[in-house]
Structure 1
């Protein structure tokens, strides 16, 4: 039991934003933030702009991994606060390191992205975008952009209430 708990703690540490940011050089972190539309002000990365509210959290790199299997990293950058992102409280941007070493903005929006096993063009994973409610959009890469593919809740199809 102790080994299982220790392993769970270690895996949580590997997924932590601090360690995710440590997986990139300082130059790559800055380039990823800039590609996502963030600016560095007052020691923080921000795309929304710090409104001075208690709920605000500056930009951070939450995840760094190869999402599409091309051997280069993608980074999920988040920023938080209800002033900027409503009841969801989180915005995200996914950027990808290109073959030439630059970073490219792939997609982003309001919500909490969850990468699914289903895939679009080029091996890019479908993204379920969580937030308030019980029916979430799932976007799929079409070769040029992530577009709405379906809605689901707990892996089952649903219809969003309008």
Structure 2
């Protein structure tokens, strides 16, 4: 059982880091605001939340509004079960403040299809063969459809 959990956690870590190009360069002042907006607290040299240590795995404009957005990833089978990973999407607002717009268990795969305000649809991956695709409706990400490898599917 421990081997299976370790294997799943390793796969989750590898999959979650696959969507990050390279470790993004985030200004220290922005890094602090991003983590605080997501509910993390500074502990020595790391940012911690209820599930463990977080890391910013993407720092770029995700929706084409000219403002930076960030993805924080953290990993824990205790919090996220077999998926072993979770993520937060934190968006910079026009007033310069940061706001968490999504917190999910899973591994995000940003699709070419878009919701309101140019936000990309997100296939929320993990173990299995049919994943929810989340779409931004202007106020929150909600389940829009289910897909596997770009094809519609249904949960059993």
Q: Write the deviation string for residues 12-71 of structure 1: whole angstroms up to 9, x where unpaired.
A: 8x8123xx1x1x210100100111111112322121244xxxxxxx20000111111100
Query: Distance between the aligned counterparts of 2:32 and 2:44, measured in 1?
Result: 15
SS of equivalent residue, structure 1 residue 134: coil
Match of 2:47 in 1: 45
Alignment map for 1:36-115 (pairs within 5 Å): 36-50=38-52, 58-115=53-110
Match of 1:3 in 2: none
User: What TM-score do you get using the length of structure 2 for normalisation?
Assistant: 0.84
User: What TM-score do you get using the length of structure 1 for normalisation?
Assistant: 0.81
State the Cα RMSD in Å: 1.4
Which moved further from structure 2: 103-112 or 36-45? 36-45
* Alignment gaps of 5+ in structure 2: 1-17
Contact 2:51 2:78 in 1 (8 A): no
Query: Distance between the aligned counterparts of 2:143 and 2:72, measured in 1?
Result: 21
Number of residues of Structure 1 aligned to a counterpart in Structure 2: 138
Alignment partner for residue 151 of structure 2, among 149, 153, 156?
A: 156
Contact 1:46 1:79 in 2 (8 A): no
* Alignment gaps of 5+ in structure 1: 1-11, 51-57
Query: Distance between the aligned counterparts of 1:73 and 1:40, measured in 2?
Result: 22
Deviation >3 Å, runs of 4+: none
Query: Distance between the aligned counterparts of 1:160 and 1:78, measured in 2?
Result: 26
Larger Rg: 1
SS of equivalent residue, structure 1 residue 132: coil
Choose between structure 1 and 2 for higher RCO, CA contacts under 8 A separated by at least 6 residues: 2
SS of equivalent residue, structure 1 residue 92: strand
Alignment partner for residue 22 of structure 2, among 16, 19, 26?
A: 16
Contact 2:59 2:69 in 1 (8 A): yes
SS of equivalent residue, structure 1 residue 28: helix
